[in-house]
Amino acid sequence: MTTPPLTLGIETSCDETAVAVLDPEGRILINVLASQIAAHRPYGGVVPEIASREHLVALPLLASRALETVPEPEAVAVTARPGLVGSLLVGVRFAAAFAWARGLPLAAVDHLEGHLLSPFLDLDGGPADPVPDPALALVASGGHSSWYLLSGEAFRRLGRTRDDAAGEVFDKVAQALGLPYPGGPAVDRLARTGNPAAVPMPRPRLKDSETDFSFSGLKSAAIRLIRERGLAASDEASAPQAVRDLLAAFEAAVVEQLLRPLPLLVERHRPEAIAVAGGVAANTLLRREVVRAGERLGVTVRLAPRALTTDNAAMIARAGQMALLRGETADPRRVDASGRQAWQPPGMRSTS
């Protein structure tokens, strides 16, 4: 295979049911999703059983509606790992049946590979860009915060959080203030009117690694300050200045942690580009600071379009196209979901 096929992408690894179709050049022909946030909100995080049930209801409807408007797919790509096993299985079985019934090739995609490719997709109808080689890429989401090296056809992890993911700490601190789940976007908005210098925040450093980082100390410090100072913000509009200041300081510290390994990684790997993806890549301060760091270091920055930072199926279809080009196909009769035991849904990890 030298050009990728027109590909149907399916994503059900967590709490978004998503369907997309990409043409052979990686143009997004359709990209739709059904969010489950409202169904999980009363529980303060993603409830696995509710997620699977919602996917079961939403996926067939979403797929049939999406397929009405585009040419017949020539291949199917589906997220097979990592994620909630029950949720992954809904997508994987649907994709396998779809591919098997039509005799189409099937790609079983790693969700993170999808995120890594999202900065190279175009929301304005253009073709996907080739991934510069080598590139450094940060994925910061509710479940992951790692730096990768993209080179040739592989991606290798270079650094990671040792404890919580960045999105998770945004959500936990927002929750401690009484803000609704997921709190990342509200923290982003409130921090814009806060003064980061007004509140002291620790800058934890790991003694044994220059490329890994940690968020749990920061999270605990922010939650301790919230409790000591009796801070609360049940809705954004009435949030007091002290809350905005605390969130600005906290957000600045999170962004600093994420970007701390960057100069060293640039020096070591001499990348052609720095790419940033995942839900937290929607964060205003992170976007600004990465662009600044890129200018300082003389490296082009590729930010995922905001609408493709959170989970979506366009990135999965693109990762599937790349896998199919490499000749990696899955057998629809045997393909399985792999949840990885360590993976827990955002909002449902224990607070420490």
**The one segment of 88-96, 182-190, 193-201, 333-341 that binds ligand KG4 by CB under 6 A:** 182-190
Alpha carbon dihedral 67, 69, 70, 75, in 10-degree steps, equals -10
**Interaction of residue 91 with ligand KG4, rule CB under 6 A:** no
**Interaction of residue 164 with ligand KG4, rule CB under 6 A:** no
**Interaction of residue 314 with ligand KG4, rule CB under 6 A:** no
| From Zn ion, ligand KG4, none, interface partner of 188 (C-beta below 5 to 8 A by class) | ligand KG4
Binding ligand KG4 (rule: CB under 6 A), the pick from 91, 105, 182, 261 is 182
List Cα–Cα distances, 24 to 4, 103, 192, in angstroms. Answer: 5, 18, 40
Binding ligand KG4 (rule: CB under 6 A), the pick from 4, 9, 91, 167 is 167
Exposure string over 104-129, b if 16+ CB within 10 A, otherwise e: bbbbbbbbbbbbbbbbbbbeeeeebe
Q: At its nearest, how many Å lie between ligand KG4 and the CB of residue 281?
A: 8
**The one segment of 68-76, 168-176, 220-228, 263-271 that binds ligand KG4 by CB under 6 A:** 168-176
List Cα–Cα distances, 215 to 55, 138, 181, 227, 263, in angstroms. Answer: 31, 16, 19, 19, 19
Q: Which is nearer to ligand KG4, 48 or 278 (CB)?
A: 278
Encoded one letter per residue, x for contact with ligand KG4 by CB under 6 A and - for no contact, window 264-303 reads --------------xxx-xx--------------------
Q: At its nearest, how many Å lie between ligand KG4 and the CB of residue 168?
A: 6
**Interaction of residue 36 with Zn ion, rule CB under 5 A:** no
**Interaction of residue 36 with ligand KG4, rule CB under 6 A:** no
Site for ligand KG4 in 131-160 (CB under 6 A): 141-143
Site for Zn ion in 304-333 (CB under 5 A): 311
Q: At its nearest, how many Å lie between Zn ion and the CB of residue 188?
A: 17
**Interaction of residue 114 with ligand KG4, rule CB under 6 A:** no
Q: At its nearest, how many Å lie between ligand KG4 and the CB of residue 51?
A: 12
Q: Which is nearer to ligand KG4, 93 or 144 (CB)?
A: 144
Which residues contact ligand KG4 by CB under 6 A?
A: 14, 141-143, 167-168, 170-171, 182-185, 187-188, 278-280, 282-283, 310-311, 346
Which residues contact Zn ion by CB under 5 A?
A: 141, 311
